[in-house]
Amino acid sequence: MLVDAGESNKKKFGQLSFSLFLDLLAGYGFRPVRSLITYLIIIFGFMGLYLLNAHYVMLHLGWDEALILSLSSFHGRGFFSQSFTLGDTYARLAAAEAIVGLLIEICVIATFTQRFLGK
């Protein structure tokens, strides 16, 4: 079966990108502090986005409320009050953060499993 050179290059680029992502995220399991730093950057970054969004909507969040929303959204357990709707920017940010959180959690679990099981 002939493989197009473009497909091969795309596959190698994807593998290289994922490998670089794992290296930056956790140093392939050898630098777990990087995972903690990434976690905090994502949490506080989305907290900042929630606070910026609070200036443009009727419902204003305090810094502690934005932090709680960010933490719960990161772990995919976001909750909303009755004043939020699915079309709100808060809901869209929370969905994006949940996706990022899921990807980071999967990578962290994979790298730590690799590290501790020695595979």
> Has this prediction a pTM greater than 0.85?
no
**What ranges do the domains of the chain cover?**
31-117
46, 70, 88, 111, 118 from 96: Cα distances, Å: 9, 11, 13, 23, 33
What is the per-residue pLDDT across 27-82, written as a single tens digit (0 to 9) for each? 766 677 788 888 899 999 999 998 888 777 666 788 888 888 888 888 877 666 66
How long is the chain? Answer: 119
